[in-house]
Chains A and B, each alone.
Chain A
Amino acid sequence: KAGVTQTPRYLIKTRGQQVTLSCSPISGHRSVSWYQQTPGQGLQFLFEYFSETQRNKGNFPGRFSGRQFSNSRSEMNVSTLELGDSALYLCASSRGQIGSNQPQHFGDGTRLSIL
């Protein structure tokens, strides 16, 4: 069974640009969550989607947005990139809505570097 697939694995951008990251969940999983991981802040929740609807959002500025498609694949977009956006972005999927206690399974992440 294929795991969570995130593309691309590595990305280098410059300040002011925008970026789109992609996540394909495990087959049958309908909930997708995004996290940002930095050495200073650790793992922080960005948002969660279930059935194409954003169900939960973390404390990030509006430059961070996302969406989920009917096949449960999700994209995350960051506009007007800042140096502080350099991080590992992790996507996680689970079978049910995130309110349940099913484990989330993570992808390998996209490492975004802002120059």
Chain B
Amino acid sequence: AQKITQTQPGMFVQEKEAVTLDCTYDTSDPSYGLFWYKQPSSGEMIFLIYQGSYDQQNATEGRYSLNFQKARKSANLVISASQLGDSAMYFCAMREASRDSGSARQLTFGSGTQLTVLP
């Protein structure tokens, strides 16, 4: 079963508008971390935001916020006031921190969402 699911292969947003990128995950571990990364066409992976499974509040980092709904197992990324430079591939990833997870301690990535910001 897919551990991380990103159902939107591509998204378009008008400059200065907000956009939500969806991410759902699957784990039975009580302790895990959720990450969002941005990958421009140049290839580098840029860390954006982190949410821990025990965090009470949704994470925010500048124009990025994470809409964490634990019961639904979703961790959607919200980008406010989109800029042309936000055009990139966005990956949701999870790391299960439990020592009982065996080989599950590495980052598992979703398939990504290609975001295009229109002028």
A residues whose Cβ falls under 8 Å from a Cβ of B:
33, 35, 42-43, 45, 48, 55-58, 88, 90, 92, 98-101, 103-109, 111
With A98-B95, A99-B99, A103-B50 as known contacts, state yes or no: A45 contacts B107, CB within 8 Å. yes
User: How long is the Cα–Cα vector from A92 to B91 in the complex, in angstroms?
Assistant: 15
Complex interface bits, B95-119 against A, C-beta within 8 A gives 1, otherwise 0: 1010100010111111110000000
Write the nearest CB–CB distance from A105 to chain B, whole angstroms.
Answer: 6
Residues of A within 8 A of B35 (CB): 103-104
Write the nearest CB–CB distance from B119 to chain A, whole angstroms.
Answer: 27
B residues whose Cβ falls under 8 Å from a Cβ of A:
31-33, 35, 37, 42-47, 50, 52, 91, 95, 97, 99, 103, 105-112
B43 touches A99 (CB 8 A): no
With A42-B109, A42-B112 as known contacts, state yes or no: A57 contacts B103, CB within 8 Å. yes
B45 touches A101 (CB 8 A): no
Residues of A within 8 A of B103 (CB): 56-58
B45 touches A98 (CB 8 A): no
When C-beta atoms are compared, the residue in chain A nearest to B91 turns out to be A43
Residues of B within 8 A of A106 (CB): 37, 44-47
Write the nearest CB–CB distance from B55 to chain A, whole angstroms.
Answer: 10
Write the nearest CB–CB distance from A48 to chain B, whole angstroms.
Answer: 6
Interface pairs (5), CB distance under 8 Å: A42-B111, A56-B106, A92-B107, A103-B35, A108-B43
When C-beta atoms are compared, the residue in chain B nearest to A99 turns out to be B105
Write the nearest CB–CB distance from B89 to chain A, whole angstroms.
Answer: 10
With A48-B106, A107-B44 as known contacts, state yes or no: A100 contacts B97, CB within 8 Å. yes
Write the nearest CB–CB distance from B93 to chain A, whole angstroms.
Answer: 8
A105 touches B33 (CB 8 A): no
**A-B contact sample (19 more), CB < 8 A, given A106-B45, A107-B44:** A42-B111, A42-B112, A45-B106, A45-B107, A48-B106, A55-B105, A56-B103, A58-B106, A92-B107, A98-B95, A101-B32, A101-B95, A103-B35, A103-B50, A104-B107, A106-B47, A108-B43, A109-B43, A109-B45
B108 touches A45 (CB 8 A): yes
